[in-house]
């Protein structure tokens, strides 16, 4: 076997190796991109379902088929804090007065996920079983306003003063690829999150009956 033949074999092996490395790298990048895309799609679906449920509940604050059960609409909200609210409504539209409690749990509950900021969001009806969902929620923030549009300090000392509220929800991937979730910053901005939604001024129609 001549020298040129050996060189040709070595050159072919090197080229083949480079092609293999390039193929593996492209495959890895394609898989990573697909995983990130699927994760974002799941987040979008999660937040749509969550927002639909929250909007339905919050718009029914103070509603009861039997209106005599809530004679004073201003007493519909029982407790109001930054990420914790309890109010009266008629869940099954059957004339029965129900208490709904929405809140988020601590980040420690999600210790098994790589994302240090995701937490469960909970919904409890009356004293029944608390339903909790791990949907990648990293922010569930409530802000309250009085009749004049002024911001009420939280926890709201007198919930009967609430006329409208702002709801902010943000979600991140609980299992991020290549750290694609936001870097912790000194000031939270919804633009820092992967998926976010904000209801600027939600006013349950029953709160306006004053």
pLDDT at 8: 60
Q: What is the DSSP string of 170-185?
A: EE--SS-STT-SPPP-
> Residue 138 has what DSSP assignment?
E
Long-range contacts of 27-32 (CB under 8 A, 24+ apart): 32/177, 32/178
First-to-last alpha carbon distance for the chain, in angstroms, is: 100
pLDDT, one tens digit per residue, over 163-208 is 889 999 988 877 766 555 555 444 555 444 567 888 777 776 777 6
Report d(CA 178, CA 182) in Å as an integer. Answer: 11
Report d(CA 125, CA 101) in Å as an integer. Answer: 6
pLDDT, one tens digit per residue, over 84-137 is 999 999 998 898 899 999 999 998 887 778 888 889 999 999 988 888 888 889
pLDDT at 206: 72
Residues 6+ apart with CB under 8 A from 125: 91, 98, 99, 100, 101
Residues 6+ apart with CB under 8 A from 160: 74, 75, 77
Helix, strand, coil abundance in the chain, percent, nearest 5 = 35, 30, 35
């Amino acid at each position: 076997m001549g020298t040129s033949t050996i060189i040709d074999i070595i050159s072919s092996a090197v080229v083949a190796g480079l092609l293999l490395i390039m193929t593996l790298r492209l495959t890895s990048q394609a898989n990573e991109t697909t995983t990130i895309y699927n994760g974002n799609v799941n987040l979008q679906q999660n937040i749509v379902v969550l927002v639909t449920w929250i909007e339905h509940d919050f718009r029914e604050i103070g509603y009861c088929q039997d209106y005599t059960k809530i004679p004073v609409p201003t007493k519909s909200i029982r407790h109001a804090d930054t990420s914790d609210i309890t109010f009266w409504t008629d869940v099954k539209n059957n004339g029965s007065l129900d208490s709904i409690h929405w809140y988020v749990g601590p980040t420690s509950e999600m210790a098994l996920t790589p994302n240090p900021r995701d937490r469960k969001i909970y919904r409890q009806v009356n004293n029944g079983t608390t339903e909790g969902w791990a949907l990648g929620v990293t922010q569930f923030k409530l802000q309250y306003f009085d009749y004049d549009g002024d911001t009420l300090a939280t926890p709201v000392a007198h919930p009967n003063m609430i006329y409208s509220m702002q709801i902010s929800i943000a979600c991140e991937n609980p299992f991020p690829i290549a750290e694609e979730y936001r870097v912790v910053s000194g000031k939270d901005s919804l633009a820092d999150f992967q998926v976010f939604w904000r209801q600027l001024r939600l006013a349950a129609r029953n709160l306006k009956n004053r």
